[in-house]
């Protein structure tokens, strides 16, 4: 007689965004294209890897002094310090006062898993989380699974075709006292000085706890310091906060996801208490973080010559992204595509909105076999000399088709 399975009542989970990639792979059309990869691509259509990474990876593999022992629970200290210097600057106020620290985490979402566990236990003001970004973020599921009430808010205005700072300020104004604000892509939102002051004043008066997300420092403008300047605003106004700093993408180490959970406290004494609790959570979650990616990144950041080369390679990626966007905009103009396409070049970073309607996106997927997310936010590094004509012609066709269908 067969025994009853303990998994009998387990249903299939709902499909996530990854189903778009699955549909793409099942498509046998010769001209199919996928424009939603999360990694930066080269002109040849391969994942971009910083040249220094390949060199350092070989050196590490041939280093006889490494014993590959388990890492400490907090992770590699030199990696944490190098990452904090990259984020805040070596001579920053918060580093000099010894009230910022971090925990070496696993993958891109490890910092959110760790931070959410801590907030669930120790942040008693509220169990409400607002996730504010220009896109739909996967880490909302982490907070949701831990019992938080999660509200997702975007500051992309699909009518004006821009990231609208006023939408961000409106959310803060309406949010309840003591909630957690997970904030991504804030540096790209172009807040004026007065808007930053207003934002921080409202968050301060409502005791809102910020949890920032820095997934690809430097990939928007090539200026590493400028893209995290807003963190210094919050430090100067006396905020305590968490920050997820992912470093995999800016070095091209996608298969060895690595980052840190950054903690800023009002004093070193408070910081040490928080880090001690986070260490217990890390021990339960993964015990020891992976070391290879951290060793590669630390070797580059702690060597001025290598760091200079790496910065140059990152600037090259940013220049290529800007060039691709300019070419896309110009080709759409030459094709006589209705509408203004300035919003393409006004957005920063590899991932930006095309500004298409859901009907136009559906046309591209079903008729032209160009796979993009429903919100029309694509990875512009997926566009190259081989496919740009087909993509821009297809976009123009989609816009004209939907325009005609409305008549």
Neighbours of 51 (CB within 10 A): 14
Of all residues in the chain, the percent with pLDDT exceeding 70 is: 98
Which of these ranges, 7-11, 96-100, 134-138, 213-217, has the smallest mean pLDDT? 134-138
Task: List Cα–Cα distances, 68 to 78, 287, 295, in angstroms.
Answer: 16, 15, 11
Of all residues in the chain, the percent with pLDDT exceeding 90 is: 78
Average pLDDT, integer, range 56-85: 93
382 DSSP 8-state letter: G
Average pLDDT, integer, range 249-272: 94
**Does the structure show a pLDDT above 50 at 348?**
yes
Class of domain 71-302: alpha beta
Mean pLDDT of all residues in the chain? 92
Average pLDDT, integer, range 37-58: 92
Task: List Cα–Cα distances, 318 to 33, 251, 311, in angstroms.
Answer: 22, 13, 11
pLDDT for the residue 406: 55
Average pLDDT, integer, range 225-251: 94
Which of these ranges, 14-28, 196-210, 339-353, 359-373, has the smallest mean pLDDT? 14-28
Give the residue among 139, 176, 169, 141 at the shortest CA–CA distance from 155: 169
Average pLDDT, integer, range 275-297: 94
Give the residue among 220, 178, 171 at the shortest CA–CA distance from 198: 171
Q: Give the confidence band of 407 by pLDDT, cuts at 50, 70, 90.
A: very low
Strand partners, 258: 106
pLDDT for the residue 94: 95
**Does the structure show a pLDDT above 60 at 204?**
yes
One-character DSSP codes across 145-198: HTT-EEEEEE-EETTTTEE-HHHHHHHHHHSPTT-EEEEESGGGG---HHHHHH
pLDDT for the residue 217: 94
pLDDT for the residue 154: 86
Q: Could you tell me the residue ranges of all domains in the chain?
A: 19-49+315-405, 71-302
Average pLDDT, integer, range 134-147: 86
Asked whether the beta carbons of 210 and 241 are under 8 A apart, the reply is yes
**Does the structure show a pLDDT above 90 at 334?**
yes
pLDDT digits (tens, 9 = 90+) for 156-168: 898 999 889 899 9
* Structural fold of domain 19-49+315-405: 3.90.1150
Place of tokens 């997820």: 244
Higher-confidence residue of 10 and 2: namely 10
């Amino acid at each position: 007689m067969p025994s009853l399975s303990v998994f009998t009542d387990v249903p299939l989970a709902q499909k996530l965004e990854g189903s778009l990639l699955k549909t793409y792979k099942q498509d046998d059309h010769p001209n199919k294209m996928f424009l939603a990869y999360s990694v930066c691509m080269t002109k040849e259509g391969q994942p971009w890897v910083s040249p220094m990474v390949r060199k350092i990876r070989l050196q590490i593999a041939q280093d006889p002094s490494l014993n590959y022992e388990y890492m400490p629970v907090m992770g590699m200290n030199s990696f944490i310090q190098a990452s904090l210097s990259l984020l805040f600057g070596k001579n920053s106020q918060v580093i000099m006062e010894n009230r910022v620290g971090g925990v070496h985490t696993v993958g891109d979402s490890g910092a959110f898993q760790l931070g959410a566990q801590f907030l669930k236990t120790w942040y008693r003001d509220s169990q409400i989380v607002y996730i504010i970004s220009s896109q739909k973020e996967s880490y909302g599921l982490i907070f949701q699974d831990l019992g938080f009430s999660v509200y997702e808010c975007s500051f992309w205005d699909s009518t004006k075709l821009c990231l609208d700072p006023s939408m961000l300020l409106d959310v803060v104004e309406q949010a309840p006292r003591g909630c957690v604000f997970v904030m991504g892509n804030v540096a790209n939102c172009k807040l004026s000085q007065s808007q930053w002051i207003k934002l921080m004043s409202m968050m301060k008066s409502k005791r809102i706890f910020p949890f920032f997300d820095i997934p690809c420092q430097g990939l928007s403008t090539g200026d590493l310091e400028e893209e995290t300047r807003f963190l210094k605003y919050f430090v100067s106004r006396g905020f305590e906060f968490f920050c997820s700093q992912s470093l995999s993408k800016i070095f091209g180490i996608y298969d060895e996801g690595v980052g840190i959970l950054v903690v800023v406290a009002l004093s070193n004494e408070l910081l040490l208490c928080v880090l001690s609790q986070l260490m217990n959570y890390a021990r339960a979650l993964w015990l020891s973080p992976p070391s290879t990616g951290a060793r590669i990144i630390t070797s580059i950041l702690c060597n001025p010559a290598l760091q200079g080369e790496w910065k140059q390679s990152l600037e090259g990626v940013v220049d290529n992204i800007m060039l691709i966007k300019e070419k896309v905009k110009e080709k759409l103009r030459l094709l006589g595509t209705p509408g203004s396409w300035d919003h393409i070049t006004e957005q920063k970073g590899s991932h930006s909105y095309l500004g298409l309607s859901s009907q136009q996106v559906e046309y591209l997927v079903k008729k032209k076999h160009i796979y993009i997310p429903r919100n029309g936010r694509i990875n512009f590094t997926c566009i190259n000399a081989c496919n740009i004509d087909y993509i821009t012609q297809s976009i123009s066709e989609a816009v004209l088709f939907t325009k005609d269908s409305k008549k």
